[in-house]
Amino acid sequence: GDALPLGRVTIEPNAPAGGESLPNAGNYNFEDRIRLLGYDYDRRVYAPGDSLALTLFWEALRPSPGDYEVQIRLLDAEGNVLSTQQGRPGGGARPTTEWRPDETFVDTYDVSLAPVAAGQTAVIQIALVDAGTGARLNLIGDDGRWLDDVLRLSPVRLRE
């Protein structure tokens, strides 16, 4: 497929220790392979044309969980896709094939808010996509049911 620029990507070896609370913490389980422990935005107020730094806190749940790319979509309030970026974690430096159980990773992406107009709300949606087939991993609920193949994060509103 076509290559998409991801902008700045930062990866740190470990997420905060278990005793520290993560921002927007949750148990976002992607088919018992990878869990998103939480996510964060670099700030709460944005202006048109700004970029948002999205930090994702990941944990591997099994050895070599597969070769997955992180897909990040920017949606308008009606759910229309405004932009998409996709790539391996850490700008390719930390492919999921090398992740080990119980290892945690902090992965940061720049998401351009340029397509969003002043006063409008945008939603960031993430997914884990098989690098070979393009299939998305499904999110699994605590009861084992498949919920969806995307995770919508907290909405972002651009000031007037």
- How far apart CA 73 and CA 129 sit, in angstroms, is 12
How much is the pLDDT for 20?
64
Q: How many helices (H) and strands (E) does the chain have?
A: 0, 12
**Residue boundaries of the structural domains of the chain:** 9-157
User: Domain 9-157 has what CATH class?
Assistant: mainly beta
Over the stretch 111-140, which tens digit does the pLDDT of each residue have? 999 999 899 999 999 999 999 999 999 999
Share of the chain above pLDDT 90, in %: 72
Q: How many C-beta atoms surround the C-beta of residue 65 within 10 A?
A: 22
Check if the beta carbon of residue 153 is closer than 8 Å to that of residue 123: yes
Cα-based distances in Å from 128 to 36, 67, 149, 151: 10, 10, 8, 10
Highest mean pLDDT range out of 36-40, 41-45, 98-102? 36-40
How much is the pLDDT for 6?
47
Nearest to 90 by CA among 4, 8, 5, 1: 8
**3-state secondary structure at position 92:** helix
Check if the beta carbon of residue 107 is closer than 8 Å to that of residue 56: yes
pLDDT tier at 40, thresholds 50, 70, 90: very high
pTM of the model: 0.85
